[in-house]
Chain A
Amino acid sequence: MGFEKFGRVSFTAQTKVGNFVDYLEKGELAGTKCPKCGRKYFPPRADCSWCPDSTVAWIKIEGTGKLVSFTRVHYGPTGFEDDVPYTLALADFNGVKVFGRLSKDLDEGQTKVGMEVKAVTAFLPGGQLSYELVPV
C-alpha cells in the first residue's frame, strides 16, 4: 500500500517498492541496486532478474540527465484530458534512464534532445506525488 499516491492517475496500489513514494516526498528520486551484481534499476525493482536475487537496496538518482527524446502530447487517455498539452520525455542520467513529464513551463521550441535536466518532486492535486524533469 502507499503506491496509489504515485502519479497523476494511479493504476495500482501494491508493490514491494512502494517506499519510492516516501523518497519522493522527501524530494528524492530513488532507484534500486542489486548488491550481488551491482546493477542499478530505475524504475526501482524489488528483484534482480540477472542474479536472480531479491535483496536490492535503495539508491538515489542524482545529478543531471540528458534528454534522449520527447513529445508534446495533445490527446490524453481517460483521467488526463484536462492536462493536455503536456510533454513526455526520456532522459539518460549516466546510463540510468528516467521516463516522465517535462516541466510545464518549458516551451516546445526551447526543448531540445541532449539538453540537461534534473528530476524534482511534483506535488499534485489530491495529495498525489510524482516527479518531473526540469531544465538545469
Chain B
Amino acid sequence: MSRDVAIVGVGQSTFFRNYEGSIRELAFEAFREAIKDAGITPADVGASIICSAPEYDKQRSPSGLMAEYLGLNPQPTFAIETVCSSSTTGIRVGYSLIKAGLHDVVVVLGFQKMSEISSADSQERMGRGADIMWESPFGTMMPAYYAMHARAHFNRYGSTEKDLALIRIKAAKYGQLNDKAVYRKGLELDQVLSAEAVASPLKRFDCCANADGSSCIILASAERAKEISQKPVWIMGLGAATASLTMTGREALDGLNSARLASKQAYEMAGVGPADIDVAEVHDCFTIAELMAYENLGFADPGKGVELIREGETYLEGKIPVNVDGGLLSKGHPIGATGGSQVRTIVLQLRGEAGAMQVPDPEIGLVHNIGGVGIYANVIILGR
C-alpha cells in the first residue's frame, strides 16, 4: 500500500442552517481544530488549497482572503472547485503537490456559507446548475436529476420508495449521535414516506439540507508525517472521473458511471477491493445517491444495493457501515466543505476517535464524494 502522503490533522465546524459569522470566521473554525489536531503552527504549512462553490460566495477570489485570515501568508494559495466534491478534489491536488516534492505540508480548506445569499438568489443559481443552453430552460433542479435516477433504478431493479426511506432512517439515527450535524432528530418510516413530494419519487426527507460549514484536512509527506503525528492516516488510493453534464450524454440513469470509474482507480491504486473496506462515507445528497453508491462502489452487485439496507448491513454493526455520522442527509451539505467532512469522519474512525459512532477497529476506510449529478466523482481510500 502507498505510504507517500498522510493526513495528519482534521477539523470541521458544526454545520449550521445559518452561521452567524463571516466566511473567514466560519473557515477558521475548521482550521483551528485541524491545526491543533496536527500539533503544528500556520508557519509549518507550505501551501493552502481553498475549496468552495463560488456561486455562493459574495467575496470574489476567497483564497486570498482565507490565506490572510488563517495566517498562511506568504505561502501560495489557490482555489479548487468541482461543486459538491471540491474539497476531495483539493485533497487530490494537495496529494500531488506533496508527491511532486513542491511542499511537505498542505492545508485543504473547504467552506460554504450557503446562507450568504438570499433564498431567491439561491433558487436562481440552482437553476443554472444544469447546462444553461439545453436543460436549464426547462426548469431543472438538482432534486429532479436525482429523482430521474431513482425512477430509472426502480424501473430496472425493482427498488422502491420504502428502500430509500430506510436509508433516511439510518441517517437520522446516526445524525442524533453527531453533535456537528444540522438535523439531529430521529425519523419514522411513515413520516418519511408521507412527506410532501419534491420531485417524484423523491420527497422532503429524501433530500439533504443546505448548510453553512467548513472542513479542514492537513496533508503531509511521509517524512513530515512521521515527525508530526502519532497516528497518521495514509492515503492508500485516489480515483477521480467525470461524466457528461447533460443527461442526454448518459448511457443509463440507474447509476453514476463516474463513481464506478473513480472507485476502480482507487481500489487498484490501494491494492484492495470492496470487501476490504471496514467503514465508508458516501455522498448521500439524496437517498437514491447512497443506494447507487452501494452498487457503484462494489459493496453490492448492480441492483442488489437494496439488500444491504433492508438487512441492516450498512448500519454500524453491519458488514459495511456507511455514513454512520449521519451522512449529508443529517449532517447537512455545505457544498465546498462536504468532502473534507467525510474524510474527517473516516480519519477519526481509523484513529479510533469516533466516539459513539465508532466502528469496531477499522483498518481501511473509503470516501465517495460526488460533484453535481455525477459530473465529478472522487473516491479516496484511507488506511492506518
| Distance of A42 from chain B, by nearest CB (Å) | 6
Binding site for B on A (CB under 8 A): 3, 6-12, 15, 42-43, 68-80, 83, 86, 88-90, 96-101, 108, 113-114, 130
Minimum CB distance partner of B151 in chain A: A69
Chain B residue at smallest Cβ distance from A108 = B200
Please measure, in the bound complex, the distance between the C-alpha atom of A98 and the C-alpha atom of B249, giving whole angstroms.
10
- Identify which of residues 223-269 in chain B touch chain A, using a CB-to-CB cut-off of 8 Å: 246-250, 252-253
Chain A residues contacting B126 (CB-CB under 8 Å) are: 77
Return the CB mask of B126-151 against A: 1 if under 8 Å, else 0.
11100111111111110110011101
CB contact between A113 and one of B133, B152, B198, B249 (< 8 Å): that residue: B152
Q: Which of B127, B199, B250 contacts A71 (CB 8 A)?
A: B199
Contact check, A72 vs B137: say whether CB atoms are below 8 A apart: no
Q: Once the chains bind, are A11 and B253 in contact (CB under 8 Å)?
A: no
- Give the chain A neighbours of B148 by CB distance below 8 A: 69-71, 88-90
Are B133 and A11 in contact (CB-based, < 8 A)?
A: yes
Cα separation A57 to B134 with both chains bound (whole Å): 19
Q: Is there a chain A Cβ closer than 8 Å to B18's Cβ?
A: no
When distances are taken between beta carbons in the complex, the residues of chain A under 8 Å from B120 are 78
B137 touches A78 (CB 8 A): no
Closest to A15 in B: B133
CB distance from B286 to the nearest CB of A (A): 12
Least distance between A90 CB and chain B CB atoms (Å): 5
Contact status B199-A74, CB under 8 Å: yes
User: Closest approach, in angstroms, between the C-beta of A5 and any C-beta of chain B?
Assistant: 10
Q: CB of B196 within 8 A of chain A?
A: yes
Residues B138 and A74 in contact, CB atoms below 8 Å apart: no
CA distance A108 to B199 in the complex (A): 12
- Name the residue among B131, B134, B139, B202 with the largest chain A CB count within 10 angstroms: B139
A-B contact count (CB 8 A): 119
* Pair B152/A76 contact, Cβ less than 8 Å: no
Once A10-B137, A80-B139, A99-B135 are accepted as A-B contacts, the answer to whether A73 and B152 lie under 8 Å apart by CB is no
Q: Is the CB of B197 within 8 A of A74?
A: yes
User: A68-B152, A69-B149, A69-B151 in contact; A77/B138 too (CB < 8 A)?
Assistant: no
Interface residue? B96 (CB, 8 A): no
In the complex, what residue of chain B is closest to A88 when comparing beta carbons?
A: B144
- Contact call B138/A88, Cβ cutoff below 8 A: yes
Interface presence of B124 (CB below 8 A): yes
Max count, chain B CB within 10 A of own CB: residue among A8, A10, A11, A98: A11
A75 to B123, CA, bound (A): 10
Query: Shortest CB–CB separation between residue B136 and chain A, in angstroms?
Result: 5
Query: Nearest Cβ distance between residue A32 and chain B, in whole angstroms?
Result: 13
The verdict on A113 contacting B248 (CB below 8 Å), with A69-B149, A70-B148, A101-B138 known, is no
6 closest Cβ pairs, A-B complex? A7-B137, A77-B127, A80-B139, A71-B147, A11-B132, A78-B124
| List of A residues within 8 angstroms of B128 by Cβ | 11
User: In the bound complex, do residue A88 and residue B132 qualify as a contact, i.e. CB atoms below 8 Å apart?
Assistant: no
Determine the chain B residues whose CB is within 8 A of the CB of A100 once the complex forms: 138
A99 engages B139 (CB within 8 Å): no
Question: Would A73 and B137 count as touching, CB distance under 8 A?
Answer: no
Check if B199 sits within 8 Å of A77, measured CB to CB: no
**Cα-based distance from A79 to B148 in the complex (angstroms):** 22
Choice from B131, B134, B139, B196 contacting A73 with Cβ under 8 Å: B139
Query: CB-CB < 8 A to A72: which residues of B?
Result: 197, 199-200
A90 lies within 8 A of B144 (CB): no
Q: State whether A90 touches B253 (Cβ < 8 A).
A: yes
Collect the chain A residues with CB atoms within 8 Å of residue B141's CB: 73, 75-77
Residues of A within 8 A of B197 (CB): 72, 74
Asked if B2 is an interface residue, CB under 8 A from chain A, the answer is no
Complex CA gap A77/B132 in Å reads: 13
Contact across chains for A43 and B199 when beta carbons are under 8 A apart: no
CA of A69 to CA of B249, assembled, Å: 14
Beta-carbon contact of B199 and A73 below 8 Å: yes
Is B139 within 8 A of A76, CB to CB? yes
Closest to A97 in B: B248
What residue in chain B is nearest A98 (Cβ atoms)? B248
Q: List the B side residues contacting A80 at CB < 8 Å.
A: 127, 139
A50 to B197 CA separation, bound complex (whole angstroms): 41
* Option from A10, A69, A83 in Cβ contact (under 8 Å) with B152: A69
**Closest-CB distance, B145 to chain A (whole angstroms):** 8
Inter-chain contacts of B155 with A (CB < 8 A): 69, 113-114
What residues on A are CB-neighbors of B151 within 8 Å? 69-71, 113
Beyond contacts A74-B196, A83-B139: 4 other A-B pairs, Cβ-Cβ < 8 A, are A69-B152, A73-B147, A77-B141, A98-B248
B137 to chain A: which residues have CB within 8 Å? 6-11, 130
A73 to B249, CA, bound (A): 22
Min Cβ gap B320→A in Å is: 28
